Structure 1
Amino acid sequence: MKAPAADQLRLLDLQAVDLSIDQLAHRKRTLPEHAEIEKTAATLAALRDELTGAESAVESLDTKIRKLENEVEQVRAKADKDRQRMDSGAVGSAKELERLQHEVETLGARQSALEDDELALMEERETADAVRAEVQGRFDAANEGLAALELRRDTIESEIDTDVAARTAEREPLAAAIPDDLRALYEKLRASSGGIGAAALRARRCGGCRIELYGTALQDAKAADEDEVLRCEECRRILVRTAESGL
């Protein structure tokens, strides 16, 4: 393939812009914020499960406390009814009165036991609520941390996108100025050679693979016409001759 030397030199400018765009894309993919966000999101998910468990524990205790409160109220109401019956003088016999007195005493003991159980549950609930509040605090902190990380990531990505847009705009006239066949070869090699399709030949070394030309390859490069498109025998990239080629 032949192409004017000036067009071959433009390949180096195009390669520099493309490499810059590739580096920006790589930076965007590998921002440390991505790993931090993933780690924080996993922590948040675990805390969400922990918080759900803590809330369930409090709700369960609340249910038990309400049940005990209802039982206490029922026992108290029954005892009050028995006392009112005794106080009214409506009891027909001494045996009936004795039975009512025993029932009131039994109900009082039952009420006292229920109230003790209720107090114990309320203390347990207070502890469970403190646990829930502590977990909620850690969850909120992690959530705020995640939001801050996502904001920082989005800001950096926006800055990178702006740089990519500027470099892409710079690339368009450079690519348009290069002959179609030469540009097509460059693009093909770039796709198959790690993003480097053209490399400068400096001090007899390929700027792509760093291999020095010698022997027949060196003689062929020296003898090639100025418009001949050279290829590195090792990496097959386009070799662009410069004033520093050493030929």
Structure 2
Amino acid sequence: MAMKAPASAQRRLLDLNKVDTTLVRLAHRRKSLPEHAEVLRIQAELATIDDELTAAETAVADGELEQRRAEADLEPVRERRRRDQARIDAGDVDAKALRGLVDEVAHLDRRIGELEDAQLEVMEQLEQATATRDEVAGRRAGLDTRLKEAVAARTKAAQAIDTEAKGQLAVRAGYVVELPRDLFALYEKIRQHVGSGAAALVARRCEGCGLAANASDLRAYAAAAADDVLRCAECGRILIRTPESGL
């Protein structure tokens, strides 16, 4: 036996179906927000720049270590030269020892020059590494700011959709309470299966699947009582008769 429901309740299914279609569209919009894509893109950039920043910070740390080593190599040579020079200045050594000290000071001066050149090179490399690190850190800070702005924009867009969806859900709830339980249960079952539970019959064509009814089905539709719940023979949706059905 065909399900029975008042014609007005059947027509209300079209309103309910319109709301459900809107809710599906809103859910898709929320999932595919361009603001969300922007957040993901910036996060990917951050992941890349974090690797770059780690490498830059490592280069600075290595440079600082090399600078300390260069200073550590230089200081004892300078100290030895100061001691030798102090002995020369004191004049309390014999001529042979003095010549030895003078030769050693000359050697130490050359060694100090070599070490200072090496130290200068290390300092220049450290300066460049520090500049690179600061530049990368600046770009990362800029990305952090952009990410915060993108997240805020995404949240705002999502909230706008959620507000609209909340309104549609309230309208839906109002429609549902008007419907007979068995009719709504059938609608929901079909909707879960094919995406929409009801469709209008317009110009002898189901607006759900878009297929035209054959002559036999049209005769059955035309002969059905107003409270008979019809189903599309092609897609199974609840078929709602309208003045434009062409029956």
Bin for the TM-score computed over the shorter chain: over 0.9
- Code of the residue aligned with 2:47 in structure 1: it is A
For residues 110 and 55 of structure 1, what CA distance do their matches in structure 2 show? Answer: 32
Query: Structure 1, residues 1-50: CA drift from partner, whole Å, max 9, x if none?
Result: 11110110111111111111111111100112222221211111100110
Q: Residue 58 of structure 1: CA displacement?
A: 1.6
Could you list the structure 1 runs, at least 4 aligned residues long, displaced by more than 4 angstroms after superposition.
none
Residue 57 of structure 1 corresponds to 59
| 2:201 counterpart of 1:238 | no
Q: Which piece of structure 1 moves more, 93-102 or 151-160?
A: 93-102
Q: Residue 142 of structure 1: CA displacement?
A: 2.0
- Code of the residue aligned with 2:206 in structure 1: it is C
Q: Give the match's secondary structure for 1:199.
A: strand
- Code of the residue aligned with 1:234 in structure 2: it is E
2:27 pairs, out of 25, 28, 43, with 25
For residues 208 and 74 of structure 1, what CA distance do their matches in structure 2 show? Answer: 91
Residue 77 of structure 2 corresponds to 75
Residue 45 of structure 2 corresponds to 43
Aligned residues: 245
Residue 34 of structure 1 corresponds to 36
Give the % identical residues. 46
For residues 95 and 198 of structure 1, what CA distance do their matches in structure 2 show? Answer: 116
Query: Structure 1, residues 93-122: CA drift from partner, whole Å, max 9, x if none?
Result: 433333222222221111111111111122
For residues 130 and 173 of structure 1, what CA distance do their matches in structure 2 show? Answer: 64
For residues 232 and 96 of structure 2, what CA distance do their matches in structure 1 show? Answer: 119
Query: Structure 1, residues 75-109: CA drift from partner, whole Å, max 9, x if none?
Result: 11111011112222333x43333322222222111
- Code of the residue aligned with 2:86 in structure 1: it is Q
For residues 158 and 7 of structure 2, what CA distance do their matches in structure 1 show? Answer: 38
| 2:133 counterpart of 1:135 | no
Q: TM-score, normalised by structure 1?
A: 0.94
Alignment of 1:42-191 (within 5 A): 42-91=44-93, 93-191=94-192
Q: Unaligned 5+ residue runs, structure 1? A: none
CA RMSD of aligned residues (A): 1.3
Q: Which piece of structure 1 moves more, 9-18 or 133-142?
A: 133-142
For residues 99 and 219 of structure 1, what CA distance do their matches in structure 2 show? Answer: 127
| 2:223 counterpart of 1:223 | yes
| 2:205 counterpart of 1:205 | yes
Q: Give the match's secondary structure for 2:167.
A: helix
Q: Give the match's secondary structure for 2:4.
A: coil
Q: TM-score, normalised by structure 2?
A: 0.94
